[in-house]
Amino acid sequence: MEIKTIKRIAVLTSGGDAPGMNAAIRATVRAGFFYNLEMYGIFRGYEGMIQNDIKKLESKHISHILERGGTILKSARSQEFRTPEGRKKAFENLQKHKIDGLVVIGGDGSLTGAHLFYKEFGIPAIGIPGTIDNDLAGTDLTVGFDTACNTAIEAIDKIRDTATSHDRLFFVEVMGRDAGFIAINAGIGSAAAATLIPEKKMPIERLVERLKARTKAMKQSNIVIIAEGGKSGGAAEIAEKIKKQLPYYDIKVTILGHLQRGGAPSSLDRVLASKLGVAAVEGLMQGKYDVMAGVINNKVVYTPIAKAIVGHKEVDEYDFHVVKILST
């Protein structure tokens, strides 16, 4: 493959925002400046690429953003970018600004878009995994996942206080449309009575048995964690079913929702995002295109995007085993 000389890199954030995206933007831009490159920001992800919302970045734009949640470049989900016409418009806008390298910070969908874009137009592109869902292969953790888990666990600790005071059974819904990583971590980290994830179906009967056994064992509080989009339904739906079978329980439902996407990034997310920002710029300069920079066993690795998205990461069987043993 021909290694192109990169002079101008554009960076964007796409899909659901994640704590640490700003740290990744800052590291990407600072690394670019270190290597005397011109750096551009594309606002609102692929939507901004199509609408030519692209601006040259200077040092002042990225000062004091490392510690801030959200993304200064804003994020979006773009239907138009899913069409060949939309992607062509986007490419023409990059040409107008003479952009010759692209850093895409986002989840599986955003990286799928980057892969297609590279195949169609050959513009050197590299991905940084930025999503609270942790559903990308090629990295142990995605930027934002650790902070989201910390937020979920902190919230569940608070729910436990009131659950115990009132002897109530709580169903807490955490994020993860198709991925149970936040749920399984929160389940282990907050001593849940049961954890339901999209990847595995738990029949309602089994949940009922588990709760009955816990009543017998005089457990002080019961918190069931449910990943949104789980195979057995959302928290409200499951709570309704349980109410019918265990009417003596005082049941409440809490949906943590977008709370999990905000807030200052944890130390782990700041460091991960910083390493990956530098790795993305250096990767582009070394001719590593159509790959995602990730960290595996504490080392930066580059994985073809096609593998990072297709090798849909499964929740570790051992984590599932641990959550089961510790909640019985």
Ligand X SMILES: O=P(O)(O)OC[C@H]1O[C@](O)(COP(=O)(O)O)[C@@H](O)[C@@H]1O
Which residue ranges make up the site for ligand ADP (CB under 6 A)? 14-16, 46, 77-78, 81-82, 106-110, 112-113, 116, 131
Q: Is 326 annotated as a binding residue?
A: no
- Pick what 293 binds: Mg ion, ligand ADP, ligand X, none; C-beta below 5 to 8 Å, kind-dependent: none
Residues making contact with ligand X (CB under 6 A)? 15-16, 107, 109, 131-133, 175-177, 228, 261
Report the C-alpha gap between 17 and 127 in whole angstroms: 15
Three-state secondary structure call for residue 245: helix
- Of 100 and 133, CB closest to ligand X: 133
CB of 155 to ligand ADP, least distance (A): 22
CB of 59 to ligand ADP, least distance (A): 28
Q: Give the angle subtended at the CA of 202 by the CAs of 132 and 311, to the nearest 5°.
A: 45
Helix or strand run (H / E) with residue 146: helix 145-165
Report the C-alpha gap between 255 and 160 in whole angstroms: 14
Which residue from 147, 113, 144 is spatially nearest to 276, judged by alpha carbons? Answer: 144
CB of 149 to ligand ADP, least distance (A): 17
Active site residue 133: yes
- Whole-Å CA distances, 43 to 51, 115, 162, 168: 9, 19, 42, 45
Q: Is 108 in the site for Mg ion (CB under 5 A)?
A: yes
Those residues with Cβ within 8 angstroms of residue 88's Cβ, 6 or more apart along the chain or in another chain: none
In this structure, the number of other CB atoms found within 10 A of the CB of residue 122 comes to 13
Q: Which is catalytic among the residues 17, 133, 269, 290?
A: 133
Q: Is 187 in the site for Mg ion (CB under 5 A)?
A: no
Strands (E), the chain: 8-13, 38-42, 54-56, 101-106, 125-129, 168-174, 194-196, 222-227, 250-255, 291-296, 299-304
Q: Is 110 annotated as a binding residue?
A: yes
Cα dihedral sign, 28-101-86-121: negative
Q: Is 107 in the site for Mg ion (CB under 5 A)?
A: yes
Q: Is 146 in the site for Mg ion (CB under 5 A)?
A: no
Q: Is 259 annotated as a binding residue?
A: yes
CB of 27 to ligand ADP, least distance (A): 19
Helix or strand run (H / E) with residue 237: helix 235-245
Helix or strand run (H / E) with residue 26: helix 21-34
- Pick what 81 binds: Mg ion, ligand X, ligand ADP, none; C-beta below 5 to 8 Å, kind-dependent: ligand ADP
Q: Is 261 annotated as a binding residue?
A: yes
CB of 24 to Mg ion, least distance (A): 16
Q: Is 27 annotated as a binding residue?
A: yes
Q: Residues annotated as binding site?
A: 16, 26-30, 77-78, 107-110, 131-133, 160, 168, 175-177, 219-221, 228, 252, 258-261
Residues annotated as binding site for ADP? 26-30, 160, 219-221
Active site residues: 133
